Amino acid sequence: MKLLVVAGARPNFMKIAPILRALRNRLDADTRLVHTGQHYDYDMSKVFFDELEIPEPHHFLDVGSGSHAEQTAKVMMAIEKVYETEGPDAVVVVGDVNSTMACAVTAKKLHIKVAHVEAGLRSRDWKMPEEVNRVVTDAVSDWLFVSEPSGVENLRSEGKPADAIHLVGNVMVDTLLWQAGHLKSEDGAVAAGLARPYTVVTLHRPSNVDDADSLRSIVEALGEIGRDMPVVFPAHPRTRKKLEEFGLVEVLGDAARILPPLPYNSFLALWKGADLVLTDSGGLQEETTALGVPCFTVRENTERPITVEMGTNTMVGTSKAGMLAAYDLFRRGERKKGRIPPLWDGKAAERIVDILLRH
């Protein structure tokens, strides 16, 4: 079976690493890796390939940045040529970025089967471009690999055939457990100078960082938290740009240490030792649940409800009042312990590969 595995942005790299590892020694699979280049900065791309032991891609599309429509169109035009050259039996796409949807739709129009890893997640928030990408990708996929029970329910309610839906576990957790077990002492250098307790923050969603009022509300809350507990803020490039544009770096002042984006291992070493993580990242909601680290999600909704129902995640909204109210409860000892969800055992990728090759 000839498989094309596609990745394009930072969250994708953590998801393809265990899949490629599971495929590495399978004689019944001829695997090709495609990197669309949606994330083109070294810190957002190449360093993850190095740390996660992902091989050099067979195809690098180098699509770069642009509007959603522009970026999607670039990916579709470039990946069509790859499909025509390679002639794969199936394409494996992961997650919910523009590359995911673009490569899935293009494959389907060329009558190539599509496998979607992390299918079925729904926020019900159509202002999120990721929600559009998820729904469209699932609509054209032949294999729907699901990370949590809510995904199965969502896909069934949308009329997907039962034999296409497979609850396999979470490939993000596969990578997390693999990397946590291989961390070297120097990987914790960023965190070494921090004495607990401390908080780690990540923000990147346009609804949080592109609006001056929304970002100011969040930053003011972080400022108050930072006066009680040190805050470390590895800032996405666009987030850093907006903080400077809106004059909010000064608002944070000494309450937070702003860092550049960190390589995977350094970031893992940093947040796994934290007392609290504040984020708007979907993946970090899952990872904190897997390692039992308290997490505040700075959003009004989540497509990963199991992290709230079973895990350590608390939805705190995006208002200053909501964030500080949740933090006040946290300070007083009301902290979610959480449990690890079913099948989050580091073997999701093996299940995916077994199903793909069996078919």
Instruction: Say whether both 198 and 156 belong to one domain.
Output: no
What is the residue-level pLDDT of the chain in tens, covering all 359 positions?
Answer: 999 999 988 889 999 999 999 999 898 899 999 999 876 665 566 788 888 999 999 999 988 878 899 999 999 999 999 999 999 999 999 999 999 999 999 999 999 999 999 999 999 999 999 999 999 999 999 999 999 999 999 999 999 999 999 999 999 999 999 998 877 654 454 554 677 899 999 999 999 999 999 999 999 999 999 999 999 999 988 899 999 999 999 989 889 999 998 888 889 999 998 999 999 999 999 999 999 999 999 999 999 999 999 999 999 999 999 999 999 999 999 989 899 999 999 999 999 999 999 97
What integer pLDDT is reported at residue 190 of this predicted model? 52
Tokens representing 210?
Answer: 């592109």
Q: How many domains does the structure of the chain reveal?
A: 2
Residues forming beta bridges with residue 277, ordered by sequence position:
200, 295
- Tell me, yes or no, whether 164 and 228 share the same domain: no
134 occurs within a structural domain = yes
Q: What is the pTM of this model?
A: 0.92
| pLDDT score for 25 | 82
pLDDT at 62: 86
Question: How many whole angstroms separate alpha carbon 274 and alpha carbon 61?
Answer: 37
Asked if 96 contacts 130 with a C-beta cutoff of 8 angstroms, the reply is: yes
Alpha helices in 68-110 (DSSP H): 68-86, 98-109
Chain position carrying tokens 């109210």? 325
Q: What is the CATH number of the domain that holds 50?
A: 3.40.50.2000
Distance CA 150, CA 169 (A): 12
User: Which residues, in sequence order, are CB contacts of 105 under 8 Å at separation 6+?
Assistant: 76, 136, 137, 140
Q: Residue 175: inside a domain, yes or no?
A: no
Note down the domain range covering 54.
2-169+344-358
Q: Are residues 202 and 113 in the same domain?
A: no
User: Residue 130: inside a domain, yes or no?
Assistant: yes
**Residue 115: how many CB atoms within 10 A of its CB?**
26
339 is a domain residue: no
The answer to whether residue 28 is domain-embedded is yes
Q: What pLDDT is stored for residue 39 in this prediction?
A: 62
Omega before 260 within 30 of 0, i.e. cis: no
Task: Exactly one of 59, 111, 166, 204 is catalytic; name it.
Answer: 204
Is 295 inside any structural domain? Answer: yes
**Residues 68 and 38 both lie in one domain:** yes
Do 197 and 67 lie in one domain? The reply is: no
User: Same domain, yes or no, for 137 and 202?
Assistant: no
- As a whole number of angstroms, the distance between CA 136 and CA 129 comes to 11
- Judge if 158 and 192 occupy the same domain: no
The question of whether 359 is a catalytic residue gets the answer no
Asked if residue 158 and residue 29 are part of one domain, the reply reads: yes
pLDDT of residue 9: 83
Q: Are residues 94 and 215 in the same domain?
A: no
Do the domain assignments include residue 107?
yes
* Residue 287 belongs to a domain: yes
Query: Do 297 and 350 belong together in one domain?
Result: no
Q: Could you tell me which residues are beta bridge partners of residue 313?
A: 295
Considering the domain architecture, whether residues 81 and 216 belong to the same structural domain is answered as no
Residues 6+ apart with CB under 8 A from 59: 32, 33, 34, 35, 82
What the block records as the tokens of 4 is 């094309």
Q: Are 152 and 280 members of one domain?
A: no
